[in-house]
Amino acid sequence: MRILGLDVGTVRIGIAVSDETETIARGVGTLERQSWKKDLQTLVEYAGEFGAVKLVVGNPFNMDGSRGAQAAVVDKFVERLKEVLPLPIDLWDERLSSLSAERVLIEGGMQRSKRKQVIDKLAAVIILQSYLDSRGSRMSGSSGENSIND
């Protein structure tokens, strides 16, 4: 059983997947946004290819915990995704995921021109890994999960 993680942006969507034990996340792609229909179809294909049983989508909170304009974009995206992919979808706090991804790439010595190509995929990995890690600590009461299952 695998979980698909998404970092949804207006230009690109970073895609990550868990291993079968739902312990480790790895990046599998970056989708350049084209149209709703094409984007959603590609994500349905990813879910099928990896046998995903759930999706985790980065929920873009502002640093003060409020929801900004990008949160509305993600909400609309999730609603459309639910129409074509009947899997549970959890929103997960993605604050600083892109910044963390960029730091990792800079520290790894990656050139600025190449970072654009992988930053969204790495952000998806960070979002999904954070979600997977939290599942082991749920008993302690710390969870950033916001389930939107029907």
d(CA 16, CA 120): 10
Per the structure, how many domains does the chain have? 1
Structural domain of 26: 2-139
Is 131 inside any structural domain?
Answer: yes
Tell me, what CATH number does 134's domain have? 3.30.420.140
pLDDT value, residue 129: 93
Q: For residue 27, count CB atoms less than 10 angstroms from its CB and return exposed for 0-12, middle for 13-18, buried for 19 or more.
A: buried
Q: Are 114 and 132 in contact (CB under 8 A)?
A: no
Rounded CA Rg of the chain: 15
Residue-averaged pLDDT of the chain: 84
Is 99 inside any structural domain?
Answer: yes
Is 112 inside any structural domain?
Answer: yes
Q: pLDDT band at residue 142, thresholds of 50, 70 and 90? A: very low
Is 50 exceeded by the pLDDT of residue 149?
Answer: no
Q: What is the mean pLDDT of residues 106-113?
A: 69
Q: pLDDT band at residue 90, thresholds of 50, 70 and 90? A: very high
d(CA 108, CA 22): 26
Is 33 inside any structural domain?
Answer: yes
21-30: per-residue pLDDT in tens?
Answer: 999 999 999 9
Q: Are 91 and 148 in contact (CB under 8 A)?
A: yes
